[in-house]
Amino acid sequence: MCGIVGYTGDQQAAPILLAGLEKLEYRGYDSAGLAVRDGERVPEVVKAKGRLRALAEKTDNGRAMRGNCGIGHTRWATHGEPSENNAHPHCTDDRSVVAVHNGIIENYQEIREKLIKNGYTFYSDTDTEVAVKLIDHYYKKYNEGPLDAMARAMMRIRGTYALAVMFKDYPEEIFVARQDNPMIIGVGEGESFIASDVPPLLPYTRKVYYIGNQELGRLHKGEVTFYNIDQEEIQKELVTIEWDAEAAEKGGYEHFMIKEIHEQPRAVRDTLNSVIRDGHIDLTEAGLSDDVIRSLKRIYIVACGSAYHAGVAAQYVIEDLARIPVRVELASEFRYRNPILEENSLVIIISQSGETADSLAALRLAKSQGVPTMAIVNVVGSTIAREADHIFYTLAGPEIAVATTKAYSTQLVAGYLLGVQFAHVRGTITEEKYEELLAALQELPDQIAKLLEDDKERIQWFAAKYANAKDVFFIGRGIDYAVSMEGSLKLKEISYIHSEAYAAGELKHGTISLIEDGILVVSILTQEALYEKMISNMVEVKCRGAYLMGLTTAGNYNIEDTVDFAVYIPKTDEHFTPSLAVVPLQLLGYYVSVSKGLDVDKPRNLAKSVTVE
């Protein structure tokens, strides 16, 4: 989704804004623009369709735009096609108000008509231009200054926004406002920054403010003042970001995705170590007391995309170990189906970004019904993290590639930890089993590292061979079905090959008619009790011409009698096999995309953080 940056200080703004936008490229975009002003002069606005490179060329890497105060934007089209005209920043004809915006103004048509009646004309199809002109309208009509104009606009606008605005009469200042879209304010020595996410800020400062919903901010050089919508000054906590700048760089890898795949052992270890203390899982930081755990009658896990797949895996683990009924739902469905949430339930929202619009809406829905909520989130200070009653931070570090890998892996681990601890507290497993499970969990980081070492080249070779596939199926049973879903998504989102995940036993209820000569079927079979059943399903597709890749546990070497290409994962407790099985599947998706010469980290049409529904 769109990315916003802003700067006011003593340095030249444009190169800083461009560098910041580059760090937000992962969010997905189709055009970009800058507005920079030099002292009291009106802002100069430059925009370009396509990649950021085009904007950098147009501005001589920012050198052609003089000035110490500016805002920048990468746009992911929602209203109006991707074009230079629709790109941000947007401004009034006299450039007295210039702004960038992330989000959607739902009632923009109605506001646009009102503004037309007041003499405004529009040059773009965007809702943002409408917001800019509404602010301008109030600014000129009431003559009470920028905060007043913005607060009035906020009361009139329905929808979501992170807005950064420059007013001609207020040189060296940027005004911001927020509703349900991420925006972070950084402060350094004599300079202030705005960004949609942490990475653009890291080269300059670790000191940040999180602006809340319906709040406004006024940025001067090195100083920020915050206000509520009634324009009363409010105090905010200055937070120190712990992520180091290198974590958001490629560090010698060709793509962020492969770097992040390799960071999984570290990410999983950090997440485990954050709650395993003295040989026990301690969830007190998440605020889950043993009494609450004992009282649970049902758990709802709600998420989108890969986070949903992690939730499906968690369902198998929690139900099997702790014997608590779990229902997993897509946030976009949950939020609109008027769910009946039972008493003594817990709603768990899983989200890497902590900003996904549907997941956030699901969280709010659960809260509005008085049901306790817990968020499994990666981004510290994100909206979901701040609004949930309990928070379990995954420690994946910044994830830049659109296709999630390390964050998904840490979400899996968070699910296991909850399952094991719930089982322990509720007495559904013995002390001995608890210790066994903890030991298995702690082995996972090294096992993932070994898999990466052993399998990379073979998978790379296999991926090159299948790079031209048209359709691929991923099949599995039980928890392997959860991994199939993630493997399928990983492949399709970055390689543009159509793929589907199927519960293996379901194939013959229709889908098997799609199997034809040479079609690749990736079969995952890590569960001993389901092994024979899986082999039967695999034989069924093989005899109809499928080419079989089998992914199983070391020791099941007889699989070679059935499959054309076998991949083995190290032995672990069967509840935790997703953490290992997913690694070759991530590599498969990655190398197919590389073989096809695609933009691995920024696949078409996708955004890292989906802040619109």
**Which residues of this protein are in contact with ligand M6R, per CB under 6 A?**
304-307, 351-353, 356, 359, 402-404, 489, 493, 606, 609-610
Pairing of strands 90-91, 69-75: unpaired
Instruction: State the nearest-atom distance from the C-beta of 606 to ligand M6R, in Å.
Output: 6
The CA dihedral of 54, 57, 61, 65, to the nearest 10 degrees, is: -100
Q: How far is the CB of 262 from ligand M6R (least distance, A)?
A: 17
Whether the CA torsion 184, 189, 192, 193 is positive or negative: it is negative
- Rounded to the nearest 10°, the torsion over CA 376, 379, 382, 385 is 20
Q: Would you state the structure tokens that stand for residue 495, as one six-digit string?
A: 């390689």
Of residues 402 and 559, the one with the C-beta less far from ligand M6R: 402
CB 266 to ligand M6R: min, Å: 19
Region label for 305, one of left (φ > 0), alpha (ψ between -120 and 50) or beta (otherwise): left
**Cβ contact 125:146 at 8 Å:** no
Residue closer to ligand M6R, measured from CB, 59 or 394: 394
Tell the smallest beta-carbon distance from residue 20 to ligand M6R (Å).
20
Characterise 571 by phi-psi region: left (phi > 0), alpha (psi -120 to 50), beta (else). Answer: beta
Nearer to ligand M6R, 18 or 407 (CB): 407
The owner of tokens 């954050």 is 274
- Residue 70 or 305: the one with the smaller Cβ distance to ligand M6R is 305
CA 80 and chain centroid, separation: 24
Shortest CB 130 distance to ligand M6R, Å: 27
Of 255, 247, 597, 271, give the one whose Cα is nearest residue 401. Answer: 255
User: What is the secondary structure of 29-68 as a DSSP string?
Assistant: -SEEEEEEE-TTSPPEEEEEESSHHHHHHHTTTTTTS--S
Tell the smallest beta-carbon distance from residue 455 to ligand M6R (Å). Answer: 20
Strand partners, 254: none
CB count within 10 Å of CB 605 equals 10
Number of CB atoms found within 10 A of residue 292's CB: 16
- What residues pair up with 348 in beta bridges, in sequence order? 301, 374
321 or 363: CB nearest ligand M6R:
363
Complex with ligand M6R: residue 224 or 247, whichever CB lies closer = 247
Say if residues 301 and 311 touch (Cβ distance below 8 Å).
yes
User: How many residues can be counted in the chain?
Assistant: 613
**CA-CA distance, 302 to 298, in Å (whole number)?**
13
Nearer to ligand M6R, 494 or 541 (CB): 494
The Cα 317–Cα 410 span in angstroms is 15
Close Cβ partners of 186 (under 8 Å, ≥ 6 residues apart)? 192, 193, 194, 195, 201, 204, 205, 207, 208
Q: How far is the CB of 129 from ligand M6R (least distance, A)?
A: 28
**Which residues neighbour 351 within 8 Å (Cβ) at sequence distance 6 or greater?**
303, 304, 307, 359, 375, 376, 377, 378, 382, 384
Q: Which is nearer to ligand M6R, 407 or 522 (CB)?
A: 407
By beta carbon distance, the residue nearest ligand M6R is 305
Burial of 202 (0-12, 13-18, 19+ CB in 10 A): buried
Active site residues: 2, 608
Contact by Cβ (8 Å): 168, 217: no
**What minimum distance in Å lies between the beta carbon of 4 and ligand M6R?**
18
Nearer to ligand M6R, 307 or 385 (CB): 307
In what side-by-side order are the strands of the sheet with 390-393? 326-330, 298-303, 345-351, 373-377, 390-393
User: What is the C-alpha to C-alpha distance for residues 217 and 185, in angstroms, rounded to an integer?
Assistant: 9
Shortest distance, position 408 Cβ to ligand M6R, whole Å: 7
Residues near 11 by Cβ (< 8 Å), separated by ≥ 6?
A: 68, 191
Q: Report the nearest approach of ligand M6R to the CB of residue 500 (Å).
A: 16
Reading phi first (left if > 0) and then psi (alpha if -120 to 50, else beta), residue 46 is in: beta
Residue 33 or 182: which CB sits closer to ligand M6R? 182
